[in-house]
C-alpha cells in the first residue's frame, strides 16, 4: 500500500475514530431522544472531520451542510414537536429495567455478524490486495493527478457533470418527488 497519508494525519484519524466510537456509544445508551440526537450530531461532525483529514473536502462540506445541518434540524424539530407526556416517561422507566433480557443475546447476533462481515471485507482488501493487484481496478485519480487538475472538488464536478449527468438529473427529480410527498403526507387533510 502506498503511503497516502502522513503520520500526523494518522494519529489525528486515530483520535477522531476513538471520539466517534465514544459518541456512538453515548447515542446508543442515551436515556432521552434529545441526548440521542446530540450523540448522532457529534458522530456526523466527527466523520466530517475524518473526511477533511483524508483530503475529501467536498464530501466533508456536504456532510456538515446536509447531514449535520438539514437532517439534524429535521430530527430535533420533530423531537420538539412530538413532546413526550409524563405518562409515557413513567412507562419508559418501567420498561428500562427489562433492557438486558435473554433475547438481547439473540438480537446481538445479527449486528455482530454484519460487523464481522464488514471487517472481513476490509481486512481481505487490505492484506490480500498486493497478491491480486493485477485483477483490481485502479482509477486515475492519484494525489498528483487531483492536484494537477485543480483539487478534489473540481475532479468530482468533472466526473459528476460530464460522466454521470443522467444520475444527477434523476436524483434531482427524486428529491423533488420526495419533497412533494413529505408535504402531502404531513398535511392534515388534502383539499
Partner 1 sequence: MNAFFQIQLLSAFLFFVGLLVVLLKRNIIIVLMGIELMLNAINLSFVVFSKQNYQIEGQLGVLFIIVIAAAESAIGLSILINFYRNFGVTKTSVANTLKG
Looking only at residues 57 through 116 of this chain, which bind partner 1 when binding is defined by CB under 8 A?
58-59, 62-63, 66-67, 70-71, 74-75, 78-79, 81-82, 88, 92, 95, 99, 104, 107-108, 110-112, 114-116
The label of the residue with cell 387533510 reads 189
| Listed residue (36, 53, 52, 43) closest to 20, CA to CA | 43
Q: Among residues 97, 132, 188, 189, which is the contact residue for partner 1, using CB under 8 A?
A: 188
Is residue 159 at the binding interface for partner 1, with CB under 8 A as the rule? yes
Is residue 164 at the binding interface for partner 1, with CB under 8 A as the rule? yes
Q: State which residue, 126 or 148, has the beta carbon closest to partner 1.
A: 126
Is residue 8 at the binding interface for partner 1, with CB under 8 A as the rule? no
Is residue 43 at the binding interface for partner 1, with CB under 8 A as the rule? yes
Nearest distance in Å: CB 191, partner 1: 17
Q: Is 54 left (phi over 0), alpha (psi -120 to 50) or beta?
A: alpha
Alpha-helical (H) ranges within the chain are 7-28, 33-53, 57-62, 72-81, 86-96, 103-127, 143-149, 152-158, 165-186
* CA separation for the pair 24, 41 (Å, rounded): 10
* CB-based contact 27:43 (threshold 8 Å): yes
Q: State which residue, 122 or 150, has the beta carbon closest to partner 1.
A: 122
- Of 22-41, binders to partner 1 (CB under 8 A) are 24-25, 27-28, 33, 36-37, 40
Amino acid at each position: 500500500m502506498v503511503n497516502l497519508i502522513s503520520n500526523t494525519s494518522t494519529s489525528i484519524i486515530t483520535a477522531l475514530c476513538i471520539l466517534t466510537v465514544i459518541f456512538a456509544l453515548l447515542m446508543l445508551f442515551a436515556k432521552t431522544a434529545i441526548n440521542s440526537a446530540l450523540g448522532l450530531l457529534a458522530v456526523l461532525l466527527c466523520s466530517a472531520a475524518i473526511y477533511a483529514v483524508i483530503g475529501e473536502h467536498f464530501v466533508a462540506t456536504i456532510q456538515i451542510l446536509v447531514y449535520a445541518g438539514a437532517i439534524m434540524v429535521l430530527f430535533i424539530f420533530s423531537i420538539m414537536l412530538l413532546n413526550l407526556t409524563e405518562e409515557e416517561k413513567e412507562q419508559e422507566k418501567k420498561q428500562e429495567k427489562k433492557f438486558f433480557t435473554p433475547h438481547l443475546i439473540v438480537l446481538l447476533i445479527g449486528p455482530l455478524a454484519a460487523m464481522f462481515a464488514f471487517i472481513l471485507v476490509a481486512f481481505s482488501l487490505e492484506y490480500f490486495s498486493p497478491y491480486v493487484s493485477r485483477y483490481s481496478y485502479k482509477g486515475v485519480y492519484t494525489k498528483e493527478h487531483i492536484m494537477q487538475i485543480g483539487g478534489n472538488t473540481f475532479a468530482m464536478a468533472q466526473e459528476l457533470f460530464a460522466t454521470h449527468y443522467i444520475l444527477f438529473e434523476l436524483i434531482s427529480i427524486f428529491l423533488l418527488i420526495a419533497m412533494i410527498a413529505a408535504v402531502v403526507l404531513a398535511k392534515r387533510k388534502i383539499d
